[in-house]
Amino acid sequence: DAGVTQSPTHLIKTRGQQVTLRCSPKSGHDTVSWYQQALGQGPQFIFQYYEEEERQRGNFPDRFSGHQFPNYSSELNVNALLLGDSALYLCASSFSYGYTFGSGTRLTVV
């Protein structure tokens, strides 16, 4: 049973560029949440998608946007990248209220 898969695993981008991260949820899971984890910090909630709509959003600017597809997979888009966007981006999927995390995408902005 495949767990949560994220791609790519690592990414290097230049300030001002745009990036798209992808997530495939665990089989049977219909809800996808995204988190940003800076070095030495706990994960910070970005937003959650359910039934192809953003159900809840954390305290992140509009540069962060997302999408959920009919097969429940999801994308996280970040526009106008800043150095401070460098972090581990985690996707978590759930059905009901148990969360499973993917292995993450390490984004470095230079």
If we measure between CA atoms, which residue out of 67, 95, 65, 98 comes closest to residue 79?
Answer: 65
Residues 52-91 that bind other proteins (CB under 8 A): 55-56, 58, 88, 90
Q: Which of 64, 93, 94, 107 is in the footprint of other proteins by CB under 8 A? A: 94
Q: What number of CA atoms fall less than 13 Å from residue 46's CA on the CB side?
A: 26
List, in sequence order, the alpha helices (H) in the chain: none
- Which residue, 65 or 103, has its beta carbon nearer to other proteins? 103
What's the distance, CA 41 to chain centroid? 16
User: Which residue type is seen at 68?
Assistant: Q
d(CA 94, CA 50): 10
Q: Which of 76, 78, 102, 107 is in the footprint of other proteins by CB under 8 A? A: 102
Q: Which of 76, 104, 107, 109 is in the footprint of other proteins by CB under 8 A? A: 104
Instruction: Give me the least distance between CB of 37 and other proteins, in Å please.
Output: 9
Summarize as ranges the residues that interact with other proteins (CB under 8 A): 31, 33, 35, 40-45, 47-48, 50, 55-56, 58, 88, 90, 92, 94, 96-104
